[in-house]
Structure 1
Amino acid sequence: MTPRDRERREADRRAATRDAAARAEADEVYREILRRTPEHEIDPSNRRVREVCELLGDPQRAYRVVHLTGTNGKTSTSRMVERLLREHGLRTGRFTSPHLTRVNERIAIDGEPIDDATFVATYRDVLPYVEMVDARSAERGEPQLSFFEVFVVMAFAAFADAPVDVAVVEVGMGGSWDATNVADGDVAVITPVGMDHEQWLGDSVLDIAAVKAGIVKDGATLVLAEQSEDVEAVILQVAAERGARVVREGVDISVVDRQVAVGGQVLTLRGLGGVYADIFMPLHGAFQAQNALLALVAVEVLLTGGAALDGDVVGAAFDDASSPGRLEVVRSSPTVLVDGAHNPAGATAMVASLDEAFAFERLVGVVGVMADKDPEGILSVLEPELAEIVVTQAGTARAMPADELGQIAVEVFGEDRVHVVERLDAAVALAVERAESEVERGAGVLVTGSILLVAEARVLLGRP
């Protein structure tokens, strides 16, 4: 070994030691934040986040913001908006939730999760101010900042420190009182609105739409996905009250054409600035085409006020689009797909895309849902597509117990088509066995029903 080789090996060893130490410290910070109120236990107010941001000098005002809400499609659309902005040479921040592998994913700069050292440094920077507001809240008899609220503060601070040109911010839940809504979006995007989180957002889709419309700020531009007539009316009323410009799918913009292609689809999109033809995107389904349209127009509005973007730049961005955990192939022989559909509307969109993009002869599902979701609705959508179902549960207290979900599945599928396996690894193994049991080709397994279940399945099957 030459002296240079020894130096390189020693440098690699020191770097590995530093990385391991930073990872351990980041994991400890994560455990510390986890001791706060979990993100699914909601106090519908963004007062605490607003107070911390004020103490920090309002970092969320240091860059332009694209703010996204809706019932389904928020994360995929957020990723597309960010990728388009980055392809145009801008520094980007992206805040999405939940994470699939490591919590750093929630806060991305220039398309990459912040590294462990930055994660720790950002937390240490904001912690004194978080603790000050925690103390104020306690004096008022109110809760301290929650897990999610701390991450929102960290994201805004990290983006200002980078600094980024534009932050793409996905709401955690709803809109008007969501922690992210202390930021003023230059552009608001509302994806399709349906029933979800009823205990927090309201018992009707109109109540939910009104809460989600709360992200539209005075004088902003709203890019609105096609909605039911009554939902659209609610959102348009809020936009009018705030003097917002509205760009509507199906009226001002549209997916003109969509052709299935190897590894994805080829799109023709009509934006505000013109028609963008022959755009390849390595994602499946009509819902992803809709997401692409919303993302494209949001970027048109932000960068040019609605004039055309460079077609080559747009094409390069979409060619590199990704949406982990959304109709994602994580294994072959047989094909194993994961999809984070966790409500009936999401399941419906997924099923339509399955039929279009994959030619399964026999598909077996591995399904687990959270206790606060609509299991009957989800299972009813899946039933015509699945030969059999293996019911399981994610490793969280929020998950509906597998035996309880299994009883519901029997009512939907019939007893002969239902298996109940609590452990995910055993559930996937059984699903593979059952999928291959009656066909030589065309067997598949679909893991779905919960983003947390999909996250565990991706790790189990070796996805980064």
Structure 2
Amino acid sequence: MGVDKQTKQRLTRLQALQWLDRRSNFEQTPTKLGKKTTFTLSRMGALLKALDNPQRQFPSAHLAGTKGKGSTAAMLAAIVQSAGYRVGCYLSPHVDKIEERISIAGRQISTADLLTAFHKIIPIVERLDQLALRKNTTGPTWFEILTAIAFIHFERKGVDLAVIETGLGGRLDATNLCNPIVSLITNISLDHTDVLGNTIRAIAFEKAGIIRRGSPVVSTALHPDAMKVIAERAALKRTKIFILNRDFTVRPSKVGANKTGNSTQTNLHSFEIQAPPGSLPEIYSIAMAGVHQAENAASAIIATKVLVGQGFQIAKQDIAVGLRKTCLPARIEWISYSPPVILDAAHNVASMHSLVQTLESQNNQPKKRILIFAASADKELKAMLQISKTYFTDVVLTRYATNPRAATITRLRDAAKKGGWQEPHVAVSPTEAVLIGKRLSGKTGLLCVAGSFFLAAEVRNALTRNINS
């Protein structure tokens, strides 16, 4: 369905997003086995060509990985911005609203700028739709259009650097037509196996698809199969690669959180990095909670050093300031300290393991530790819930309503029992889950919400209301 000429002239945010939501959206629609041909760069290439390739007008830092790429992207953007550069950042998914995905200098894209990009892209997309119809193919997808909108915005505002996070995989991801001067690959584990493959090696091959000739690579992927694939790809492209524990090391201090008062400000968590190993360590502090965030920060620091080698002027103080001020919603986010309430988007096995590892490192463990859990049906539900059982005392299973990929409560209950939860609590909605979780945790117990960005988005308001009451 198109947008008529009169509507285009008075396009509102609601109308633009309604138009966008009619597109194929793989964040909302479950992917199916054998449908890898759905993912291709041809649609995105045609769209960007029709837009005069805005992504070629600025350099990019491109990030892929199963876990940690969003946090690493935000840290790198903040570091370069602290040095006085105009930095665009493109992240996914969002928690509260779509504008979170596109920002410059830490400020989300305005409604006016968003609509300016929509005005430019809508007629081009609809023309491509007509061409696709004649060829019995499909036009640009939801994510491809939004990625192009980010590129349009960054070109229009004249960014000095764009930090771009992949959406899914890397090799065939819509972002992979950007102009990278450094690439970063974070932790790799099994996720989206129906699309990317069911082995670490296959998934690493897709992630390593972002590596370009002449664009140095920073890798914190530690699985041996992933390391091998990434190193082979870098060698094939004849590009320099920096590998964690070979070219740089990181040692975080014990993570702790300030639990006095109701402030949602996290303490700073220090770590040291040595690049190369054995050299004089540099000590930094990060605002983002989690043992794994030290590795993400180290990746951003090494990428910063690559940028310095390419002419960017970034001092150690800029790195320190950028890391200290970087925060993202739903990444082990302390909504409250008294009572302790955490919101986390842990959406795969590796993320759940990091969440549990971080919480176990806290001092003064509460007796009651309640997990509110919901996840997409294509996730390793049993494994995630099995890991959660090693720390949490109770689990409340629920289902979010905003995404059809959500696992049913019946399936969650079955996975929970197989994962060791003999008597999981059940709530028909995230709002009810918060009420049950609050009752179970009492005034001093920990309440943690995890399993999906979609759950985090739905539960945030309910959490805030209950804490305030």
TM-score above 0.5, yes or no: yes
How far off its partner does 1:85 sit? 0.9
| Aligned partner (choices 15, 29, 43) of residue 28 of structure 1 | 15
> 1:366-445 residue pairs with structure 2 within 5 A?
366-395=372-401, 396-416=403-423, 418-436=424-442, 441=444, 443-445=445-447
Q: Does 1:156 align with 2:160?
A: no
Is the alpha carbon distance of 1:122 and 1:204 closer, same or farther for their aligned partners in structure 2, counting shifts above 3 Å? Answer: same
Whether the 8 Å contact between 1:380 and 1:412 is mirrored in structure 2 is: yes
One-letter amino acid of the structure 1 residue matched with residue 321 of structure 2? A
One-letter amino acid of the structure 2 residue matched with residue 455 of structure 1? A
Is the alpha carbon distance of 1:343 and 1:166 closer, same or farther for their aligned partners in structure 2, counting shifts above 3 Å? Answer: same
CA distance in 2, matches of 1:332, 1:110: 29
CA distance in 2, matches of 1:99, 1:357: 28
| Aligned partner (choices 302, 312, 317) of residue 312 of structure 1 | 317
Q: Does 1:38 align with 2:25?
A: yes
Q: Name the structure 1 match of 2:186.
A: 191
Runs of 5+ in structure 1 lacking a partner?
Answer: 1-22
CA distance in 2, matches of 1:276, 1:90: 27
> 1:77-156 residue pairs with structure 2 within 5 A?
77-156=72-151
Whether the 8 Å contact between 2:83 and 2:313 is mirrored in structure 1 is: no
One-letter amino acid of the structure 2 residue matched with residue 401 of structure 1? T
**After superposition, what is the alpha-carbon deviation per residue over 1:200-247, rounded to whole angstroms, capped at 9, x for unaligned?**
001211011001100001111000104222221111111111111101
Q: Name the structure 2 match of 1:365.
A: 371
Q: Name the structure 2 match of 1:52.
A: 47
Q: CA RMSD in A?
A: 2.1
How far off its partner does 1:300 sit? 1.4
CA distance in 2, matches of 1:63, 1:456: 36
State the secondary structure of the residue aligned to 1:48. Answer: helix
Whether the 8 Å contact between 2:76 and 2:301 is mirrored in structure 1 is: yes
How far off its partner does 1:348 sit? 0.7
How far off its partner does 1:280 sit? 2.0
CA distance in 1, matches of 2:295, 2:346: 16
Q: Name the structure 1 match of 2:287.
A: 282
Q: Name the structure 2 match of 1:455.
A: 457
CA distance in 2, matches of 1:455, 1:303: 37
Whether the 8 Å contact between 2:252 and 2:294 is mirrored in structure 1 is: no
Whether the 8 Å contact between 1:280 and 1:315 is mirrored in structure 2 is: yes
| Aligned partner (choices 218, 228, 235) of residue 233 of structure 1 | 228
Is the alpha carbon distance of 1:253 and 1:306 closer, same or farther for their aligned partners in structure 2, counting shifts above 3 Å? Answer: farther
Whether the 8 Å contact between 2:251 and 2:294 is mirrored in structure 1 is: no
Whether the 8 Å contact between 2:211 and 2:234 is mirrored in structure 1 is: yes
Runs of 5+ in structure 2 lacking a partner?
Answer: 1-9, 32-37, 259-266
CA distance in 1, matches of 2:344, 2:414: 23
> 1:300-339 residue pairs with structure 2 within 5 A?
300-305=305-310, 309-339=314-344
Whether the 8 Å contact between 2:249 and 2:276 is mirrored in structure 1 is: no
Q: Which runs of 4+ in 1 moved over 6 A?
A: none
| Aligned partner (choices 237, 262, 269) of residue 265 of structure 1 | 269
**After superposition, what is the alpha-carbon deviation per residue over 1:2-48, rounded to whole angstroms, capped at 9, x for unaligned?**
xxxxxxxxxxxxxxxxxxxxx99212211210111113356210211
State the secondary structure of the residue aligned to 1:260. Answer: coil
One-letter amino acid of the structure 2 residue matched with residue 27 of structure 1? L
CA distance in 1, matches of 2:313, 2:48: 35
Is the alpha carbon distance of 1:151 and 1:187 closer, same or farther for their aligned partners in structure 2, counting shifts above 3 Å? Answer: same
CA distance in 2, matches of 1:456, 1:299: 35
Whether the 8 Å contact between 2:254 and 2:361 is mirrored in structure 1 is: no
State the secondary structure of the residue aligned to 1:461. Answer: helix
CA distance in 1, matches of 2:391, 2:339: 17
Q: Name the structure 1 match of 2:298.
A: 293
Whether the 8 Å contact between 1:364 and 1:387 is mirrored in structure 2 is: yes
How far off its partner does 1:259 sit? 4.2
CA distance in 2, matches of 1:35, 1:360: 46
One-letter amino acid of the structure 2 residue matched with residue 313 of structure 1? D
How far off its partner does 1:140 sit? 1.9
CA distance in 2, matches of 1:177, 1:246: 21
Q: Name the structure 2 match of 1:213.
A: 208
> 1:157-176 residue pairs with structure 2 within 5 A?
157-176=152-171
One-letter amino acid of the structure 1 residue matched with residue 270 of structure 2? V
State the secondary structure of the residue aligned to 1:446. Answer: strand
**After superposition, what is the alpha-carbon deviation per residue over 1:384-421, rounded to whole angstroms, capped at 9, x for unaligned?**
111111000111211011232122213323433x1110
Q: Name the structure 2 match of 1:340.
A: 345
- Give me the identity figure in percent: 28
How many residue pairs align between the two structures?
436
How far off its partner does 1:62 sit? 0.7
Q: Which moved more, 1:322-331 or 1:33-42?
A: 33-42
Whether the 8 Å contact between 2:83 and 2:315 is mirrored in structure 1 is: no
Whether the 8 Å contact between 1:285 and 1:357 is mirrored in structure 2 is: no
One-letter amino acid of the structure 2 residue matched with residue 330 of structure 1? I
CA distance in 2, matches of 1:414, 1:160: 51
CA distance in 2, matches of 1:343, 1:252: 28
CA distance in 2, matches of 1:260, 1:366: 23
CA distance in 1, matches of 2:304, 2:134: 43
How far off its partner does 1:360 sit? 2.7
One-letter amino acid of the structure 2 residue matched with residue 247 of structure 1? F
One-letter amino acid of the structure 1 residue matched with residue 457 of structure 2? A
CA distance in 1, matches of 2:220, 2:383: 23
